[in-house]
Amino acid sequence: MFDTENASEDGVRDRKVVFKTRDGAELVGRLYHPAMTPFAIVVLNAATGVSQSYYRHFARWLAAERGLACLTYDYRDMGASARIHPRQSRADMADWGVTDAEAARHWVHREMPEMPIWIIGHSLGAMLVPMQGARENVARVIGVASGEVHHSDHPWPFRAMAMTFWFGLGPLATAAFGYLPGRTIGFGSDLPSPAYWQWRRWCISRSFHRSDIGTRLSEPRWGKSDAPVRLVAFSDDEMIPPRCVWRLGARYGEYEPVLIDPAESGLDKVGHLGVFAPRNKALWDQVLG
């Protein structure tokens, strides 16, 4: 399903698309297509609680400047894919990072069956890719600020805020409201309670998501893939510091580590979420490689 295409002066066409996951969730996305025939299509998996609209400038740049088609989309019960209040949602991180991401990849393969698929995952968007199945059509993976973090990994004073999120106001508010009222309490987006509690369990455990392997998650199997993996970390990322990104690299096996210092490009703080903002466009070539 899609609506009327929009075309811009740079020749990039974009249209709304709707597709379903294997368990019946309906996801809404946007497909960006360059003026020429693309040489690959990117599935852009978002960070937790971040709307696909945030990535639209980067997706359009991929199409206009790098000749790549790009699909952005919102995870179930979030952004344009939301149909119910977060209090009613049973979505968790595994739904978003595995099932929904697989559905996006399967949709682009059906749309463009001969096209190589690149995965660009921001934070959660690359974290669970090693647990996904049917990866034969994936030609490349780029993880951006994606890693396995324990609350003790955060530098001070950011660690104090993280401790409040995991041990103070975060769990109290989630228990009281039946969902994480992130916008109300100043911790980002509203999240379904299963997503918050699962995320919390991972980030307060030294083994991260090992407790969910065999139930909500499968064993990492990326070592059987030939697709090259590039993991990008930022020197000023307090939420997922570089060592946590390299820790994720063990789930992939062989990978290319890339450490970016925003100051070397004359930029102010980029941190965990800022790289896809238009003001930091100077870093996008480094991210892509």
The confidence band for 222, taking pLDDT boundaries of 50, 70 and 90, is: confident
Query: Do residues 46 and 59 make contact, with C-beta atoms less than 8 angstroms apart?
Result: no
Q: Is residue 175 part of a domain?
A: no
Q: Is residue 242 part of a domain?
A: yes
**Phi/psi at 222 (5° precision):** -70, -20
Number of domains in the chain: 1
Q: CA-CA distance, 211 to 215, in Å (whole number)? A: 8
- Lowest-confidence segment of 3-7, 123-127, 148-152, 165-169 by average pLDDT: 3-7
CA atoms lying within 13 Å on the CB side of residue 123: 20
**CATH number of the domain to which 283 belongs:** 3.40.50.1820
Alpha helices in 20-100 (DSSP H): 56-66, 93-94
The distance from CA 34 to its chain's CA centroid, rounded to whole angstroms, is 22
**Phi/psi at 26 (5° precision):** -100, 125
Q: Is residue 78 part of a domain?
A: yes
Q: What is the pLDDT of residues 206-220, one digit of tens each?
A: 999 999 999 999 998
Q: Which residues pair with 232 in a beta bridge?
A: 144, 258
Q: Is residue 232 part of a domain?
A: yes
Q: Is the pLDDT of residue 2 over 50?
A: no
Q: Is the pLDDT of residue 128 over 50?
A: yes
- Lowest-confidence segment of 22-31, 66-75, 220-229, 238-247 by average pLDDT: 220-229
Place of tokens 């909500």: 216
- Lowest-confidence segment of 87-96, 165-174, 221-230, 255-264 by average pLDDT: 221-230
User: Structural domain of residue 95, as residue ranges?
Assistant: 6-153+219-288
Q: Is residue 161 part of a domain?
A: no
Q: Is residue 200 part of a domain?
A: no
Contacts of 264 (CB under 8 A, 6+ apart): none
Q: Is residue 182 part of a domain?
A: no
The confidence band for 126, taking pLDDT boundaries of 50, 70 and 90, is: very high
**Phi/psi at 249 (5° precision):** -55, -30
User: What is the reported pLDDT for 224?
Assistant: 67
Question: Which 3 state secondary structure label does DSSP give 242?
Answer: helix
Q: Is the pLDDT of residue 4 over 70?
A: no
Q: Is residue 190 part of a domain?
A: no
